[in-house]
Structure 1
Amino acid sequence: MSSLNCVTAPQPSPHPLTDDSVLDALGADLRAAGYTTDGVTELLGEDVHAALLRGVWWPALAATSETSVEDDEVPLATVIRLFLLGSDEPETSVAQAFPTSGVDALIAEGVLIRLDDGAIRANLDIRPHADETHDYLVVADQDAAMRPGPVARDHVLGIGGASMSLARAIIREPARRALDIGTGCGIQALHLNSHCDEIVATDTNERALALARATARLNGMSWDLRAGSMFEPVAGERFDLIVSNPPFVVGTGSQDYIYRDSGVVGDALCEQLIRELPAYLNPGGTAQILANWIITDGADWRERVAGWLDGTGLDAWVVQREAADPISYVSLWLSDAGEDEQATARRGEQWLEWFDDNDIVAIGMGSITVRAPEAGEDREPDVVLEEITGAGEEVTGPEAQAFLARRRYLRETSDADLLDKRLSIAPVMLEEHSLPGEDGWQQVGAAVRRPGGPAAVLGVDEVSRALLAGCRGQVPLQTLIELLAGFHGVDAEALATAALPVVREAIGRGILYEAN
């Protein structure tokens, strides 16, 4: 966290890190210092690092002090204190940490600033980031907790909850061409690089493009970075995969901060993005987008978002993860800007008045996954809209990929074909729900749940529970139904008619699948 040694920092240059030689030298210094996720964790210790991730700073400050580190750890400790803790550091220590790039060059390139007392402070947020197979460096602007005063209008967000939620949700199928709309610091493009041959990344913010370029070069990558809004920079082009974490914040249409405000009233930007997707997706192409949508008094959010998809011809899986009340929603976004209390109160009051004038009672937040039909495919689009709010039920890439595959299987498999299939049940848990009564506990319901799957739960009665238990991939579904019908003394055809919708839902939820 920044010390009390205050300085009026200059407004961020719109084009930091333009000198490739300095950028390459910076990368070499950071690597030499061991500035990776594992390196930071090892120096701080797992408990201190975990505390830092929760926003508790002081243990990390103590762990990186001169008395706590060995001589060969000083460069890494200095880098951590500069970029992760916002500390003001002596120039001698900073020079030791950056022997190749040099302090003066980093100041000239907008990475560091020199304070009036000669101490050095970071002017950018540069931090390690890792997935299962790669370790990266990400360049962004410092958030409001790391510097005094409000963030700049062209502030570039770093790694945040929304960006990581989208990154985890992306289907990591190999793709020839991918498009990242509103790339910001480049976090989505960074992950796309592992499975996409060509990446086009766009943004309206020139500063964001400059920092995305720095992120790419530090990681040995090259993206086609283009300035412009929405699909303007890629007019006439098509892609196999489109991802976007756009400035989706629902508001009056003002654009106080580029990273959050679209300049479009309400949720119209997200609607426009969805409606224009078909013109830019290749046949069978996929798009995955984070979005916010308006919920008015008495209205079903599904109807609003379904309206965005009408006429697009796209298959879609829309998941609402949260519905925030206006005060919570506005407070969330105001806290990011770092404005003083009076400015925050004034802006918040105006924002809430606009919500009230437009009869907005909540804002839905979630993800939209769509897939274009294959070439020559002529059918009604398959659209599923659902609310999934449970912890541990977030949409992930493997789950999204499996969901789309299951929906395709259900479309292509008739009831008659399904009865001939041998089905297996996934690893599931049976949950029984009981209430106390005069005669003890009385069961009032039961459900089968696939742990970890978004909305992977299915209510069951005695017959459907027995049917699911019998799905061991050994006999056709028709045979199981006939056995159950004989046991319960009911007509097999009638039981099949009643069971098939349950079986289809179980397949759609990943609870049942066709045995090999």
Structure 2
Amino acid sequence: MITAPTDHQPAVFPMTDLEVVDRLGTDLREAGYSTTAVPELLGSSAHRALGRGEMWPALRSTRGGSALETMIRLFLLGTTESEGAVARAFPEAGLSAALSSGALERDGADIRAGLDIRPHADDDSEFLVVSDLDSDTRPGPVRRDHVLGIGQASITLANAVIREPAGAVMDLGTGCGIQALHAFSHSGSIVATDTNARALALAGATARLNGQRWDLREGSLFDPVVGERFDLIVSNPPFVIGTGRQQYEYRDSGIAGDGLCRELVGGMTAHLRPGGTAQMLANWIVREDSDWRERVGGWVYGTGCDAWVVQREMADPAEYVALWLKDAGETGGSAAGTASDWLDYFAAEKVTGIGMGLITLRHNGSDDPDVVLDEITGVGEEVTGAEAAAFLARRAWLRGASDVDLLGARLSLAPSVILEQRALAGHEGWSTVLRLLRRPGGPGATLQLDEWGQSLLAGCTGNLPMAVLLDLMGTAHGLDVEALAEAVLPTIRVAITRGLLHPVDS
């Protein structure tokens, strides 16, 4: 068993008896507790309602008493069930062992879930993930060492990670192990760290249930990996910006403001192998009369790594505080006091907004790193691993391409690119006022054009070098070709950066 000392007595963490974990996994899988079978049993309407936080349709759909229905009611709906029904659902583990493991607990004469165990999947595999029950399933404030489960932030990061083969991977601040879980299939080894010993216990259970092996280490920031380097570092840290008081370990770093994220960014280079990549979620302070790019740009320029920083959202301080109070299940007078102190801190620090986004770093050993800081907030423009990898590759190609190289390149529009036009009616008919090139699904993949740019890019079919296209345009319209090239090449570079244009191999 994993134990950690407290002021009074050792704490015994759940799900550390590996034999019981294995038997629980057998029961869950034998019952069909998966991302496919659960929605099928619930039905589309009840499953959609559950996604909105509405429990009653799912409760109505799970009254049959089967093992799968009992598991759904326990772990996904937070009900209490009869001892007999639960015993029938877990024949391999046995009720006594399931209770002693912490997966289940008694509630009077009945049984309820002690932990959140839920199915999860990617494109190739089904998983089971172990975490603590959130405040929606178990009302009231969560415990100080609460281990967060599958949430929007963890899914955002998992979707954004570049899924290329990596020899050594570090999941910094692993929590219940979501990022390590997704990295396992394309990594040689995984080190997963956390300051929360309870999180490491539940991450160990997640790994065991899914037949994976991770090197679990307790410690803050890079302390557990001194002298080690990795091909990939991923981190969904406790990035919430506050006073420095650590009320909840999953949320509060114990470092005031955005100091934790700054330290994490600053420490990445020393732990990345040449060519290695780091990707992390972060929040940052935005003060009145300042641009977030100045603050975060200062962090990433100091790393010497190429960087792509994407701000996805800017939160109002009061809304930010309300969000995190609700997340922790805090209500009433204590919540009001916490909120007041939190907002007083923001006011004293002149915080007018909190930026939320993703930081991607690549250690290329350059004396002049390439740094792009984007604000991309559109729905459907989320960063994916494929988009992040392609963005870094395009920027690397552009850095090595002089204007002469660009003029000699054959460029082609991406297959999915569309041209959007807007026009105003006038006395002489419609007058075009906007020409926008767009690659649907590409983060920030838009480019506003004038009439000349529209004509030039229409000719980018990959058949002719850019110099020839410019010569043809200049000749047709009586324009100086050198001046035309000087004017349009910056736009061409932007179009390549955004994946609207790409070079065609000779």
TM-score by length of structure 2 reads 0.96
Distance in 2 separating the partners of 1:137 and 1:244: 20
Q: Residue 333 of structure 2: which of 333, 339, 342 is its match? A: 342
Q: Which amino acid is 2:412 matched to? A: S
Q: Residue 76 of structure 1: which of 68, 78, 99 is its match? A: 68
1:329 alignment partner, SS class:
helix
Q: Which amino acid is 1:514 matched to? A: P
2:79 counterpart residue number:
87
1:433 counterpart residue number:
422
**Cα shift readout 1:327-358 (whole Å, capped 9, x = no counterpart):** 11001100011123211111111111110111
Distance in 2 separating the partners of 1:471 and 1:207: 56
Residues 201-350 of structure 1 aligned to structure 2 (within 5 Å): 201-350=192-341
1:26 counterpart residue number:
24
The answer to whether the 8 Å contact 1:12/1:152 transfers is no
User: 1:459 Cα shift?
Assistant: 0.7
Distance in 1 separating the partners of 2:261 and 2:477: 52
Q: Residue 497 of structure 1: which of 486, 495, 506 is its match? A: 486
1:180 partnered with 2:168: no
1:65 partnered with 2:63: yes
The answer to whether the 8 Å contact 2:305/2:366 transfers is no
Q: Which amino acid is 1:25 matched to? A: R
Aligned-residue CA RMSD (Å): 1.4
Distance in 1 separating the partners of 2:472 and 2:429: 33
1:101 counterpart residue number:
93
Deviates more, 1:16-25 or 1:157-166: 16-25
Q: Residue 393 of structure 1: which of 377, 381, 396 is its match? A: 381
Change (3 A) 1:20 1:378: closer
Distance in 1 separating the partners of 2:306 and 2:502: 21
Q: Which amino acid is 2:386 matched to? A: P
Q: Which amino acid is 1:353 matched to? A: D
Distance in 2 separating the partners of 1:297 and 1:340: 30
**Cα shift readout 1:274-322 (whole Å, capped 9, x = no counterpart):** 0111100000100000000000001000000011123321100000000
2:4 counterpart residue number:
none
2:369 counterpart residue number:
381
Calculate percent identity across the aligned residue pairs. Answer: 59
2:404 counterpart residue number:
416
2:130 counterpart residue number:
139
The answer to whether the 8 Å contact 1:79/1:97 transfers is yes
User: 1:438 Cα shift?
Assistant: 5.5
The answer to whether the 8 Å contact 2:301/2:369 transfers is no
1:454 counterpart residue number:
443
Change (3 A) 1:45 1:440: same
Distance in 2 separating the partners of 1:399 and 1:78: 41
The answer to whether the 8 Å contact 1:250/1:267 transfers is yes
Distance in 2 separating the partners of 1:431 and 1:13: 61
**Cα shift readout 1:75-107 (whole Å, capped 9, x = no counterpart):** 000000000000100111100100010111111
Distance in 2 separating the partners of 1:459 and 1:500: 14
Distance in 2 separating the partners of 1:159 and 1:130: 11
Q: Which amino acid is 1:52 matched to? A: L
User: 1:17 Cα shift?
Assistant: 1.0
Q: Residue 112 of structure 1: which of 104, 124, 128 is its match? A: 104
1:361 counterpart residue number:
352
Give the total of aligned pairs.
Answer: 496
1:5 counterpart residue number:
none
User: 1:148 Cα shift?
Assistant: 2.9
Distance in 2 separating the partners of 1:403 and 1:310: 18
The answer to whether the 8 Å contact 2:171/2:235 transfers is yes
Distance in 2 separating the partners of 1:193 and 1:125: 22
2:136 alignment partner, SS class:
helix
1:156 partnered with 2:154: no
The answer to whether the 8 Å contact 1:14/1:206 transfers is no
The answer to whether the 8 Å contact 2:308/2:360 transfers is yes
2:3 counterpart residue number:
none
1:39 partnered with 2:31: no
TM-score by length of structure 1 reads 0.94
Change (3 A) 1:195 1:428: same
Distance in 2 separating the partners of 1:136 and 1:157: 16
Distance in 2 separating the partners of 1:216 and 1:107: 20
Change (3 A) 1:418 1:328: same
User: 1:413 Cα shift?
Assistant: 1.1
Distance in 2 separating the partners of 1:129 and 1:199: 20
**Cα shift readout 1:367-406 (whole Å, capped 9, x = no counterpart):** 0000001xxx543000000100000000000000000000
User: 1:13 Cα shift?
Assistant: 5.8
Q: Which amino acid is 1:203 matched to? A: D
Distance in 1 separating the partners of 2:435 and 2:297: 31
The answer to whether the 8 Å contact 2:424/2:430 transfers is yes
User: 1:432 Cα shift?
Assistant: 1.4
Distance in 2 separating the partners of 1:459 and 1:119: 63
Change (3 A) 1:232 1:397: same
Q: Which amino acid is 1:50 matched to? A: R
1:510 partnered with 2:474: no
**Cα shift readout 1:415-472 (whole Å, capped 9, x = no counterpart):** 1011111111012111113345565643222110011000000010111111111000
Distance in 1 separating the partners of 2:10 and 2:395: 48
The answer to whether the 8 Å contact 2:304/2:366 transfers is no
Change (3 A) 1:176 1:291: same
2:130 alignment partner, SS class:
strand
Q: Residue 463 of structure 2: which of 474, 478, 481 is its match? A: 474
The answer to whether the 8 Å contact 2:317/2:346 transfers is yes
